[in-house]
Structure 1
Amino acid sequence: MKTFQYVRPTRLKDAIAAVSADPDARFIAGGTNLIDLMKRGLAAPEKLVDITGLPLKKIEQKDGFIRIGALALNSEVAKHRLILEKIPLLAQALNAGASGQLRNMATVGGNLLQRTRCPYFYDPVFPCNKRQPSSGCAAREGINRTHAILGQNDANPSCLAVHPSDMCVALAALDATILVMGPTGERRIPMGDFHRLPGDRPDRDTILEHGELILAVEIPDLPFTQTVHYLKIRDRASYAFALVSVAVALEVADHRIKTARLAMGGVAHKPWRFPEAEKALENQPVSEDVFRQVAGGAMRDAKALEHNAFKLTMAPNAILQALKTAAGIL
């Protein structure tokens, strides 16, 4: 790890100014991902700007939404009364992530920014467009068991890595908005726009500009307080990233679905939302047959690689199971 300067401002504007003025500066909070990247030489900031002294930890009910500060710890969010009562899907997703020790350090803002766990990204022996643009993607011809089956919008995608966060899958389903501030002021970014598909810049995971700091996540009041489920399928029960995961939220009345939300992790370069499947569920009876048909249709654009064809079966089965569990069909 290279030598770096460390500063810990106590004012928001000073933190933003410290990073904005230095192209090699980075914000740091819990550091559960960034420190790993620095140890492996995948990140080499000249300056770390510690933001843990800023007042960004509050979890509160606002008029029409719940706001979660960027420095709120994953463990604290998952057990907070407001979250458990109003948005239990988020609590389920957070509790499925990482380990208890990491959840006690990781922040909501950091979770949004964590980088892929693709093994080729972490190993400098192999070419990786995300690590070094235009160097190639070793996953195309390599062991691609954990890689993407959705979002490949051309015959030779620049990156096949998947997004690692469980929290972000739930936020995608819940229509969250990310509040950020940079040198030019505040802006609100819909969750669906926050993360990028690789395109011609696979090294950029989000649309954040240098010097922009995540302040909070805002989740609107939605009628998804009970009929929800987060399902994560992984190789082991703890501290493993999803092969596929599903976030489901349903509003049910008189045994019919009024509104639905559906998103997946482990299948694409970003949390993947299924608006067509959601619309197909609306006004339908709560039925395993309906769920099975929607689950199959949701994956019609999926494309397998050499080693991850099993996801073409696992993904719709996971959607079906998550829908059944949310709806109480045993």
Structure 2
Amino acid sequence: MSHKLTTGKHASQQEIWVYQIKKTIISLLCLTCLTACNDDEVKLAEACEAVRGLCEEIVSDSACKNERNSVILNEYDIRVRRNRSKIYQQMLALEDLKECTYKQSLIQYVPAEMKFPIETRETQERINKRNEYRRSIAERKRMKVDNYHNTLNKIERYNQETAGFLTPHLLYWHWSRLHDKVALGHLIELDEEGRLSGYDMMFFMSMAYASIDPEKVEPTLLRSLEQYPPIRYTEMAPPKEPTRYNPYIDEEGRLHYSIFRHLTQLYFSKKEYDKSYIFARLLEMNNDEAVDDFVILGYMKNQRRERLGELDQISETIDSWVKDGKFRTLKYEKLVDSLS
């Protein structure tokens, strides 16, 4: 089955938006896997000895230590242990390092003449301190800028190395980062052949279908819920910064918030208000404050208040299914079809 991929402004925005969603979620998921599986992890010094070139290109800094360490350990696994399954994880780690080193490269240091103002009668010691400080900040600035550019170069080398790879997550990378329509086409073929799995891939495929095959968005989101791991289905804690909501920090890589939001909005756009309310209530039950902006809650309370008791019960049933890893599309459809 062939698909015509939408081009132009709308498609570009869609891809960029999916990229942002991925950054708030998938890197956290994969880094969690790394943490859980490093009982036999090589020591950082040993890894640096084995992949010396990388450690010399991206040098140790007072900042970005965790990001750099992850990149080095992943590189060791890929190049020395020949663990090719770590490539996608490494690309995500490099992306996190890129963001950190970019911020570091923007740091502006106090100028030497402000740190050590020139005086009428200066001692040689003061002049030496000013000059040493000037050399120090120049070296630190150069090191931070070099770390950023060398990280970019490393990402580009992986982009070239993985071009044409047909593993789902690497195909997803090339579509979401490099706007590779061929990679997206391969993903769609894999999905049609039933060879895609994983709640994250199902969610991202639903975003792809939004622009090329809208009828597939709902069933693909529901498939994502079918595969959702109960361990990740937890309520949202209060924001780390009360005055500013940050999905990358506050959602902690939990994808069900995005799934519920998209189903809420999708059903509302189709005027399936009962279903839209059910998933808005699921967001409320998970302490997602974003639901306060959804029109559906006010609409149902004002226009269909008599239905809320029945719909709330359905929301609680779905909540228990996801908690137990027992959500199934057929059960869900049967449940909502029974609405009076």
State whether TM-score is above 0.5: no
Structure with the bigger percentage of helix: 2
Q: TM-score, normalised by structure 1?
A: 0.27
Q: TM-score, normalised by structure 2?
A: 0.26
Structure with the bigger percentage of strand: 1
- Larger Cα-atom Rg: 2
